[in-house]
Amino acid sequence: MTKSAKSKSSSPSSSKSGKCTWPEFVSRRTAELKEQNPDQEAADRKKQISAEWKVSDENPKND
């Protein structure tokens, strides 16, 4: 028999604290930055997103 994947009951971003996960943050910010500056290199974009995450209120580690 194979193991079945557990489905998520709710989105982590829908928590009461308003925090989100790193992948959600990266996905959203990547889309925003691509729209704002389509010529920006992917590596530069990743560095910018990482720096923003470290100080973001959405980061659960920044309580």
d(CA 35, CA 55): 22
**Backbone Cα Rg of the chain:** 15
Cβ-proximal residues to 13 (8 Å cutoff; 6+ apart), any chain:
19, 20, 21, 24
**Is the confidence at residue 29, as pLDDT, over 60?**
yes
Residues 18 and 49 sit within 8 Å (Cβ to Cβ): no
Neighbours of 49 (CB within 10 A): 20
pLDDT of 4 > 90? The answer is: no
Mean pLDDT (the chain) is 83
Please give the residue that has the higher pLDDT: either 1 or 41.
41
Query: Over 60: is that where the pLDDT of 42 sits?
Result: yes
**pLDDT at site 31:** 98
Q: How confident is the model at residue 21 (pLDDT cuts 50, 70, 90)?
A: very high
